[in-house]
Amino acid sequence: MRTKIKDAMYPVVFAIAFLVLWELVVRLFDIPLYLLPSPTGILSVMDSSLWSHMMVTLLEALAGFVLANVLGLITAVIFVHSKPIEKGVFPLAIALKTTPLVALAPLLVVWMGTGYSSKVVASMLICFFPILVNSVKGLKAIEHEAWELFSTYKGTKSEIFWKLRLPASLPYVFSALKISTSLAIVGAIVGEFVGANKGLGYVVLVSSYHMDTPVMFSAIIASALCGLVLFWAISLLERRIIFWQRTDDL
Amino acid sequence: MLTTASGLEKEVSRLHEEQTINSSKSEIAVTLKNCSLSFGDVNVLNNVSIDIYKNEFVSILGPSGCGKSTLLRLMLDLLQPNAGGEIVYPSKELSLGMVFQKPVLMPWLTAIQNISLPLTIGEKKFSKKEIKEKAESSLRLVGLQDFMNHFPHQLSGGMQQRIAIARALAADPTVLLMDEPFGALDEFTREKLNFELLRLWESPETSLSTVVMVTHSIQESVLLSNRVIMMSPRPAGVEDIISVPLPSPREIGMDELPAFHQTVNALRKRVKHL
C-alpha cells in the first residue's frame, strides 16, 4: 500500500514542477495571453459553466460508449456462432472503421440535428470496431484442451458459451473497453465541432473564434479529464472482474 | 545378499506369471479394434488394436508426436477412427475421466468450483448437495481440502495438477485417461504425484479401476504400470506390449530392483531399435 502511494507521488511531483515552470516562463517572458496563458490564468476561467459543458460531453461519450460495447459484444457473439454472417458482415465493419469519423459527422448532424443523438452516434461509431474485433478474438481464444474438457463431460453449446467462452473472453473485452474510453470522448467532441450549442467541443470551437485561449485551454484540459475518468473507472472494474490477471498499466 | 536378490527375482517372475494369467482371465475395460486415423493425407495412427483390462494400469509409451495423445482422444470420443476402426467399452456403468498435461483449470473459478465443473455440465445427474459432497471428498483425496476456496493463480503447478486430478475423480470415473499428466512438473513434484496417483488407483474409496496414461518417460511407465504399450513413430502403431514384472502395490524404492532395470533396459533397446 505504502509503495502504491509512493508510486502515485511520482507523476504528481513532476506535474507540479511542470506547472510551476510554465507559470514562471509565462510571467518572466511576458508571453501574450492569446498565445499561452499561465496555469493560474487558466484556472481563473474554470467555472461552473465549464463543468456543465464537461458533463454534457461526458454524458454523450458515455452513452455512445455503452451502446457501442453492448452492440459490439452482441455482434461478436453472432459472428462466433455463424461463419456466413461473420464473413458477410466483417468486411462492412472494416469499411465503417476506415471511413473517417470527421467525414461522417456532418451527415450525422444533418440526419439527427444538433442535439445529443448525433454526438452519441458519432461516439458509438468510433467505439464499435475495437470491441467487435477484440470480443471476436477473445471468444475464439479458448484453450483447445478446455474445449475438450467440456466435450468429454458432454457440455452443451450454451454451457460452453456461458461457462467457458464468455469468461475467457473478458480480458480481451476489457482491453477493448480501455482503448474505447478515449475514443468515445473524441467521437463526442467531433460531433460537437460540427453542430452544437453546448459541450466541450463547442467551447473549444467558440473560444477559438474569439481568440479566447485561456477558455480554450480550460476546455482542452476538461476533455482530457473526461477521458482519464472513464479510463480509470474501466481499469478499476477490470481489476475487480478479472482478478486472476495481473494488469500493470495504471 | 546374492541369494536374497535371486530369491526376489524368483518371486518377481512368479508374480509376473500370475499377472499375465490374471489379465487373460479378467474383464476387458476397453478394446480398440483396427483403429487407424488420418488427418487429410497424414496417417497418424496405423491399425492399432489394444485390449485394456479392468483393474489395470497401462502406460502408452512413445516418442513425442507419435500419436499417443491422439489415441487417448479416440478413447474419449473426441475423435473418430477411420472406417473399419472401432472402440468398445463393454461395461454399462462406464464413466470416463480425463487429465491433460496442463491442468486446464478455469482461472475464474475456485478450486472447489473447478472440481465441481464436470458435475454441473452435460447430463447433470446430481443434486447441488451431492455435487458439493463429491467435490469436497475428491479434494480431500488429493489432500488439498485446506485450499478449497483458493483460485488457480494462488496455487503452485503441482497443486493445480492435483486439482485437475480431483476434478477427474469427482465424476466417479471407472476409466481414467491421462495425457502426460505430470510432464510439465518438476522432478520432485512429479515423483510425489506418481505415487499419489497409484494410491488413488488402489484406494477402495475411488471407483477407479483402469488407468491409461500416456507418457514419454520410460522409468515412469515401468514404475507405475502393469503393462507398457510401446508405440512406433508416425504413423503410430503398437510396436510391443510389455508386462512389468514388479510386485504390487508399487512402492517407493522399487526403481532399485533388478526387474525394474531389466524392464527399463529392454524398453530402451526397443526405442533405439525404432
Given a cut of 90, whether residue A169 has pLDDT beyond it is yes
Mean pLDDT, chain A, integer: 91
The C-alpha angle with vertex B42 and arms to B37 and B44, in degrees rounded to 5, equals 40
Three-class secondary structure of residue A128 per DSSP: helix
Mean pLDDT in residue range A167-181: 93
Name the minimum distance, in Å, from the CA of B108 to any CA of chain A.
Answer: 7
pLDDT band at A171 (very low <50, low <70, confident <90, very high): very high
Nearest to B123 among A146, A154, A163 (CB): A154
Mean pLDDT in residue range A113-121: 91
For residue A246, the model assigns a pLDDT of 67
Nearest to A244 among B100, B107, B122 (CB): B107
B78 Cβ under 8 Å from any chain A Cβ: yes
Name the minimum distance, in Å, from the CA of B204 to any CA of chain A.
Answer: 24
B171 Cβ under 8 Å from any chain A Cβ: yes
User: Is there a contact between A205 and A193 (Cβ–Cβ < 8 Å)?
Assistant: yes
Contact B98 A163 (CB under 8 A): no
Mean pLDDT in residue range B179-190: 84
Given a cut of 80, whether residue A72 has pLDDT beyond it is yes
Positive or negative, the CA dihedral A25, A29, A34, A40 is: positive
Name the minimum distance, in Å, from the CA of A157 to any CA of chain B.
Answer: 10
Contact B121 A243 (CB under 8 A): no
pLDDT tens digits, B192-225: 888 888 888 988 888 888 999 998 889 889 999 9
For residue B21, the model assigns a pLDDT of 46
Mean pLDDT in residue range B173-195: 86
Name the minimum distance, in Å, from the CA of B118 to any CA of chain A.
Answer: 6
Mean pLDDT in residue range A98-115: 90
pLDDT tens digits, B58-99: 999 888 777 888 889 999 888 888 888 888 888 877 788 999
pLDDT tens digits, B29-67: 888 888 888 888 888 888 888 999 988 999 998 887 778
- Distance, in Å, from the CA atom of B169 to the CA atom of B176, rounded to the nearest integer, reads 8
pLDDT band at B3 (very low <50, low <70, confident <90, very high): very low
Mean pLDDT in residue range A177-181: 93
Q: Quick one: what percent of chain B has pLDDT higher than 90?
A: 28
Given a cut of 50, whether residue B266 has pLDDT beyond it is yes
Q: What is the DSSP letter of B243?
A: E
- Which among A203, A238, A233 has a CA at the least distance from the CA of A221? A203
Which one is predicted more confidently, A8 or B2? A8
B117 Cβ under 8 Å from any chain A Cβ: yes
pLDDT tens digits, A28-39: 998 888 889 999
Mean pLDDT in residue range A76-89: 92
- Distance, in Å, from the CA atom of A131 to the CA atom of A65, rounded to the nearest integer, reads 10
- Distance, in Å, from the CA atom of B195 to the CA atom of B175, rounded to the nearest integer, reads 18
A158 Cβ under 8 Å from any chain B Cβ: no
* Helix/strand number for chain A, H first, E second: 11, 0
Which residues in chain A are contacts of B70 at CB distance < 8 A? none
Mean pLDDT, chain B, integer: 84
For residue B194, the model assigns a pLDDT of 87
Given a cut of 50, whether residue B2 has pLDDT beyond it is no
Given a cut of 60, whether residue B22 has pLDDT beyond it is no
Given a cut of 90, whether residue A203 has pLDDT beyond it is yes
Contact A245 B107 (CB under 8 A): yes
Rounded to two decimals, what is the model's pTM? 0.80
Smallest CA–CA distance from A149 into chain B, residue: B98
Across the strands, what pairs with B213? B59, B178
Given a cut of 60, whether residue A247 has pLDDT beyond it is no
For residue B1, the model assigns a pLDDT of 40
**Burial (Cβ within 10 Å: 0-12, 13-18, ≥19) of residue A15:** exposed
Smallest CA–CA distance from B177 into chain A, residue: A152
For residue B274, the model assigns a pLDDT of 66
pLDDT band at B10 (very low <50, low <70, confident <90, very high): low
The separation between CA A139 and the C-alpha centre of its own chain, rounded to angstroms, equals 22
DSSP assignment of B85-145 equals -EEE---SS--EEEE-SS----TTS-HHHHHHHHHHSTT--S-HHHHHHHHHHHHHHTT-G
pLDDT tens digits, A55-66: 999 999 999 999
Given a cut of 80, whether residue A3 has pLDDT beyond it is no
| Residue A211, C-alpha cell as written in the block | 481568440
